[in-house]
Amino acid sequence: MSDVTAETTPKDKRMRFDIKTAGPAIALTLLCIIGFLLNPAFLSEGNLTNLLTRSAFIGIIAVGATFVITAGGIDLSVGSMAAAIAGVMIIIMNAAMETMGPGLATVLLGGGCSILLGLGAGWINGVLTTKGKIEAFIVTLGTMGIYRSLVTYFADGGTLSLDFAIRGTYRPVYYGSVLGLPAPVWVFIAVSICGWLLMNRTAFGRYCTAIGSNESVARYSAIKVDRIKTLTYVIQGLCVSLATIIYVPRLGSASASTGVMWELEAIAAVIIGGTVLKGGYGRIGGTILGALILTTIGNILNFTDLISNYLNGTMQGLIIIIAVWLQRGDWGKAKASKS
């Protein structure tokens, strides 16, 4: 609440906004400096490309999660959804191999199915939350379990593998690059720009913020709350399917261990970026930085043997908390602005 009320005083607003904008950027810069000091190879072109490409999965999903969280919802099912969509895509493409051959048509069919599945899965989450009047946490906890067990079932407990002939056609979607940047990074950039415009320059974005701040007031203001909330889950589903489309060609396989914990990483990226977990305030730009921070932590830990492998989780936890503290911390002048 304090964030929303604070924005009513113009002077306060500017102060807080600065810190919020700078927080994730400061954290990321610090991380990059630490990475470089530990090992200059950290800033090599190859490693930076790896980092950006790797961030694309969580980043794209987190852009969708920013809408869901801003509108006061939460989606725990994204990791399982990605695994299930990847599994179904592989099954469809392998089956289409026989009639359509390993060409572009088969890959496009797989991609198309992925998008339909993503939209559908998001719509189910949305409708169960709004029309079904079940808490988003419970709905998506349920679908998380369902999708995870579905991919286990499809794979017979093992691993679904894409036919090698199709991999040849599909491979450039992950490994190819345009103008020196890998394809997944371009997708990430496109999704980020669309997300930023949608959040900051459209009525839809303002409605999300309004619903997240106060659903009843939004309803009385003639906002179609149920429709907007459902749409946020559909956008989330679309983002998951895009992330899956670029994930599948990487290793050409899906199993029960695909996308484990992606939901938490996506939510962490959103919160590190400055979006408020209880809704009402969302920042796409911050989310993107958040996703980069999360990937960078893992990357730096692989670049050094100073820290015991067993403490990786501790380092990640500490950096996440510090990154959020950088923007939420009251910096000594809190009492006046806290309502």
Interface residues toward another protein, by CB under 8 A: 39, 41-42, 44, 46-47, 50, 54, 152, 155-159, 161, 175, 250-251, 253, 255-258, 298-299, 302-303, 305, 309-310, 312
Q: How far is the CB of 43 from another protein (least distance, A)?
A: 10
What residue has token string 């904008």?
A: 21
Q: How far is the CB of 307 from another protein (least distance, A)?
A: 11
Q: How far is residue 189's CA from residue 291's CA, in Å, rounded to a whole number?
A: 13
Q: How far is residue 69's CA from residue 199's CA, in Å, rounded to a whole number?
A: 12
Q: Return the number of the residue (41 or 217) whose C-beta is nearest another protein.
A: 41
Q: How far is the CB of 276 from another protein (least distance, A)?
A: 30
Taking CA 71 as the corner, what is the angle to CA 68 and CA 72, rounded to the nearest 5 degrees? Answer: 90
Q: How far is the CB of 182 from another protein (least distance, A)?
A: 10
Q: How far is the CB of 128 from another protein (least distance, A)?
A: 24
CA 57 to chain centre: 7
Q: Return the number of the residue (171 or 219) whose C-beta is nearest another protein.
A: 171
Q: How far is the CB of 188 from another protein (least distance, A)?
A: 16
Q: Return the number of the residue (132 or 158) whose C-beta is nearest another protein.
A: 158
| SS3 state of residue 277 | coil
Q: How far is the CB of 114 from another protein (least distance, A)?
A: 18
Q: Return the number of the residue (230 or 255) whose C-beta is nearest another protein.
A: 255
Q: Return the number of the residue (9 or 312) whose C-beta is nearest another protein.
A: 312
| SS3 state of residue 160 | strand
Q: Return the number of the residue (216 or 305) whose C-beta is nearest another protein.
A: 305
Q: What tokens appear for 158 in the block? A: 């093992």
What residue has token string 């379990």?
A: 145
Q: How far is residue 335's CA from residue 12's CA, in Å, rounded to a whole number?
A: 12
* Helix or strand (DSSP H, E) at 35: helix 10-38
Q: How far is the CB of 315 from another protein (least distance, A)?
A: 13
Q: Return the number of the residue (157 or 332) whose C-beta is nearest another protein.
A: 157
Phi, psi of 155 (to 5 degrees): -90, 5
Q: How far is the CB of 250 from another protein (least distance, A)?
A: 7
CA 244 to chain centre: 12
Q: Return the number of the residue (74 or 144) whose C-beta is nearest another protein.
A: 144
Q: How far is residue 288's CA from residue 284's CA, in Å, rounded to a whole number?
A: 6
Q: How far is residue 50's CA from residue 6's CA, in Å, rounded to a whole number?
A: 40
Residue type, 60: I
| SS3 state of residue 182 | strand
CA atoms 110, 185, 22, 325: torsion sign: positive
Which residue from 154, 186, 158 is spatially nearest to 172, judged by alpha carbons? 186
Q: Return the number of the residue (2 or 159) whose C-beta is nearest another protein.
A: 159
